């Protein structure tokens, strides 16, 4: 989504982060998302959009990082 529509679009970033959060249901999925470099991608979205007047990217981004890091030391480091 971010590649096709661009990471400069705040709504694209928001919905991408929500989609990632919704699929972090198991340790195996969190591991796979980590190897796909999802953690640095979310950090990038937080840097780009986290300080905007639209707080959804910051809220969902931090929630997603928490879920990706849940019981996963490698993702915590990422």
* Residue 7 pLDDT > 80: no
Instruction: Specify the pLDDT at position 3.
Output: 63
- Stated pTM of the model: 0.81
Q: Is the pLDDT of residue 67 over 90?
A: yes
For every residue of 48-71, DSSP letters joined together read HHTTSS-THHHHHHHHHHHHHHTT
Work out the pLDDT band at 22, boundaries 50, 70, 90.
Answer: very high
Helix (H, G, I), strand (E, B) or coil at 56: helix
Q: Are 72 and 29 in contact (CB under 8 A)?
A: no
How many Cα neighbours within 13 Å face the side chain of 45? 33
66 pLDDT band, cuts 50/70/90, is very high
């Amino acid at each position: 989504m971010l590649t096709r529509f661009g990471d400069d679009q705040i709504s694209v970033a928001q919905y991408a982060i929500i989609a990632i959060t919704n699929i972090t249901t198991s340790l195996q999925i969190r591991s796979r998302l980590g190897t796909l470099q999802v953690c640095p991608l979310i950090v990038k979205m937080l840097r780009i959009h986290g300080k905007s007047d639209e707080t959804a990217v910051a809220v969902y981004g931090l929630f997603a990082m928490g879920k990706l890091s849940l019981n996963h030391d490698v993702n915590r480091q990422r």
